Amino acid sequence: MPSERSVPSEHPAYRAFAEVVSDVIAPRAVEVDATEVPRSHVEALRGVGYFSWTVPKNFGGDPVPAAVKHAADELLFGADPSTALAVTQHDGPVGQILASRRPAALALLPLLATGERIGGAGFAQIRAWPKRPSTIATAVAGGYRIDGVVRWLSGWGLVDTAWLGAVDESNNAYVFGVGDLGRPGITVSRPHLAAVQGSRTVSLTLRDYFLPDEFVTEVVDIATWDSRDGSVAPGKHCAPSESGVRLPAVGAIGLARAALADALATHPDEPSLLRLLAELEEAANTPLPEPHWRARLDELAIRATTAGLVAAGGQGLLRSDIAQVRARAALFLQLRGLSPKVRAARFARYAR
């Protein structure tokens, strides 16, 4: 019989997490999509140790197998896409800090493990450079001054520790670091999104924002970073898990499973839905070179959430119905991490 460690859903941490998702988060998903993730959701996740799962024990964490974290994040995306987007990027700063081994940055890990600090990410804007303006890093005494617009940062008002990226034009390099969003030099605007509006996603304008050297986690040649951007799925847990099994980018599987579960609840004998579910599970367990695996799964999320709308009928278009929330969230996935390689893989997928 499989051990609790080999079956993610049997792990004690997953079971406690799933209970919070079922009892606290899922019932408010439609409301949250139209408003914003409440702080009480973060407190509930903190209560089951969610933010400690990727922090090593020697820094105050309570790590779980990567497959368990991945399965939990998929469950959350299916239940409440806005909350998932707001909290699942917590791993970004954690991974950057661990890779850098900077003592001052490492000192943040116990606070990130308890959820006293919440992590996020804001570096997608560097992909548009030099065609469009980006955040610009200028070396100054003790660190970098960063100016420009962080186009997307989710979890504003909850997140306070962000993985930031900027372009050092004079050295033809990207500068990455872990920024304190409480520092001066930040103004915020909140766009009205067609999907995951409740995720507290904002644009940040940085003017004379100071990133100290001790929180700079990577300085990398632009061509080197661009060559690998899109070749690995976004998020820490796309890396090999403890068992050596590669895990896909999180989000698509959870959205698709949740949509198909609802569709099959009302149409249990529909063979097309059963075939779509079988195709999803086969794709989830058959790694492809990135970004093609991501493109395949994200396309399945579109098809499955659309099937969920069809199963719901006209009711599915009401703002009070979870089917339309999931369908719009699946559109968001098509735009996530949209490097040139990812865009090309998506176009190729659509043109099959």
Residue 232 within any structural domain of the chain: no
| Count of domains observed in the chain | 3
Q: Are residues 51 and 132 in the same domain?
A: no
Q: Are residues 160 and 191 in the same domain?
A: yes
Q: Are residues 152 and 203 in the same domain?
A: yes
Q: Are residues 96 and 123 in the same domain?
A: no
Q: Are residues 268 and 314 in the same domain?
A: yes
- 24, pLDDT greater than 70: yes
Residue 339 within any structural domain of the chain: yes
pLDDT tens-digit map of 236-247: 433 334 455 789
pLDDT tens-digit map of 32-49: 999 999 999 999 999 999
Q: Are residues 21 and 110 in the same domain?
A: yes
SS3 for the chain is CCCCCCCHHHCHHHHHHHHHHHHHHHHHHHHHHHCCCCHHHHHHHHHCCHHHCCCCHHHCCCCCCHHHHHHHHHHHHHHCHHHHHHHHHHHHHHHHHHHHCCHHHHCCHHHHHHCCCCEEEECHHHHHCCCCCCCEEEEECCEEEEEEEEEEECCECCECEEEEEEEEHHHCEEEEEEEECCCCCEEEECCCCCCCHHHCCEEEEEEEEEEEHHHEEEEEEHHHHHHHCCCCCCCHHHCECCCCCECCCCCHHHHHHHHHHHHHHHCCCCHHHHHHHHHHHHHHCCCCCCCHHHHHHHHHHHHHHHHHHHHHHHHHHCCCCHHHHHHHHHHHHCCCCCCHHHHHHHHHHHCC
pLDDT tens-digit map of 186-218: 999 999 999 999 999 999 999 999 999 999 999
Q: Are residues 201 and 290 in the same domain?
A: no
If pLDDT is split at 50, 70 and 90, which confidence band does 83 have?
Answer: very high
Q: Are residues 103 and 123 in the same domain?
A: no
Domain that includes residue 169, residue range: 119-222
CATH code of the domain covering residue 146: 2.40.110.10
pLDDT tens-digit map of 106-138: 999 999 999 999 999 999 999 989 998 999 999
pLDDT tens-digit map of 287-338: 999 999 999 999 999 999 999 999 999 999 999 999 999 999 999 999 999 9
pLDDT value at residue 230? 86
- 235, pLDDT greater than 60: no
